[in-house]
Amino acid sequence: MIELSTELITFLMLGGVLSLVLTGFPIAFVIGSVAFFVGIITFGPDITYHILYSRFYGLSLNYPYLAVPLFTFMGVILQHSGITKDLYDALYEAMGTLRGGLAIVTVLFGTVLAACLGVIAASVTILALIALRPMVERNYDKSLASGSIVAAGTLGILIPPSIMLVVYGPQAGLSIGQMFMGAIFPGLILSGLYVAYIAIRCYLHPEDGPALTAEEVAKSTTLGILTKLLKSLVPPVLLILAVLGTIFSGIAPPTEAAAMGSMAAIILAIIYRKFSWNLVKVASLETLRVSSFVVILAALSYAFVGVFMSAGCGEVVTDLVLAVPGGRLGSFAFIMFIVFLLGMFIEWIGIVFIIVPIISPIIIELGFNPLWAGMMVCINLQMAFQTPPMAMSIFVLKGNVPKDLDVTLGDIIRGVIPFVIIIAFTLILCSIFPGIITWLPQRMIGIGG
């Protein structure tokens, strides 16, 4: 063992993770390695082994994490069955007469997808495959088209059922059910502001989002459009009722509601004749991949936090945050700034597993509502998906862009900037009016998570 100051250990652990992540190594191995080697240096092998083993094993048996594979399975079934494509076509016919109508449809469709999938890569991929070509071929501005897809697809990690909220809740000691309810209004506000921005931009610059031609409009009747729209809304409405309906009504907590959602997705795939054993195989393998990644990262991060806290590093971080000028508001703003900066370099899941257990006691000490503060962090992480260099949504879209459309990475980055500004504005709005987050959860006090 080597005698090191608490401040130096804090620097080695946090700085080590950030530095090694930039090398491209998988974040789970980075976190586990840093915890192991710093633990050996600080405590010796016996104590380090006890900390790592007990926390790794304990978190691997954490019941709420069962919702991760269930929600993932539900989302992959929907993604590969193609059930939701009819909804985009119906919205396309209904809104195409507006300037920027296709981009608005993309946001609305992305909002519905968010309430069905909960997996951001699936949402962005579906939107890219369905929405990008129609917009580009109708001479939409490429940055507007790509920006609307990235922003709408990223809503899938905020609007429940969201994997991020399932992961965040246990780390912060919060009810997943109440986090689900707390995310609904911020998610819908973001969606509404995205639509407003697109409508205003295309009103001022019609060339950025031209409406459908008179010939295209004449192909559909109002009754036909309405019938198609109502029919296509059946699958997502049933899924939302199966998941959020059972949670809000108190029938089942989120983990059991996730099982209800998976069953509903299978039943819908059978009814719409999209079900096949190959679909089950693909969904099962993807669920296994995602769930294994989440569990091993969760367990190693939990072990990392165990070493971090045992070394007294939590007190160093607490003293630093509380020393920020501006009182408790200044301290909270500093936490949000750190989360934003980390989001540019580390995947959201690493931030949640490492940072949340450290900042949650600080938030309570500052006197903030933990649910409100947690949702503010989750909204903040919306920007992490859209700010390079670690911008998952941007790279998922870029990977699904057909070469003949000639949409560059620069087009996508320019397109997301206004939406990132909208997210920042929403954070301010939720700070001024915290009831946006807390009102609905207060209606369901007593429902477990």
d(CA 144, CA 403): 18
State how many domains the chain has. 1
Instruction: Provide CB contacts within 8 A for 96, sequence distance 6+.
Output: 102, 105, 211, 212, 216, 217
d(CA 439, CA 353): 27
Residue 290 domain-assigned? yes
pLDDT on residue 378 = 92
User: Residue 119: pLDDT above 90?
Assistant: no
| Single-letter amino acid code for the residue at 444 | M
Residue 319 domain-assigned? yes
Going 49 to 51 to 55 to 57, the CA torsion angle's sign is positive
pLDDT tens digits, residue range 416-427? 999 999 999 999
Q: Of 127, 130, 128, 123, whose CA–CA distance to 76 is shortest?
A: 123
pLDDT tens digits, residue range 161-207? 888 888 898 888 888 888 989 999 999 999 999 999 999 999 999 99
Residue 448 domain-assigned? no
Asked if 110 and 127 touch (Cβ cutoff 8 Å), the reply is: yes
User: Residue 222: pLDDT above 70?
Assistant: no
439: its two tokens: 């009102």
Q: Report the chain's mean pLDDT, rounded to a whole number.
A: 84
Range of the domain at 79: 6-442
272: its two tokens: 């719409």
Residue 13 domain-assigned? yes
Only one residue has tokens 């104590």, namely 47
The better pLDDT of the pair 361, 24 is held by 361
Residue 328 domain-assigned? yes
| Mean pLDDT value across residues 379-395 | 83
Residue 68 domain-assigned? yes
**∠ at Cα 181 (177, 183), nearest 5°?**
115
**pLDDT tier at 68 (50, 70, 90 boundaries)?**
confident
**∠ at Cα 66 (234, 55), nearest 5°?**
155
Residue 447 domain-assigned? no
d(CA 95, CA 277): 36
CA atoms within 13 A on the CB side of 421: 8
| Single-letter amino acid code for the residue at 427 | L
d(CA 257, CA 161): 10
d(CA 443, CA 426): 22
Residue 449 domain-assigned? no
Phi-psi region of 175 (alpha: psi -120 to 50; beta: other; left: phi over 0): beta
d(CA 393, CA 4): 40
50: its two tokens: 């006890």
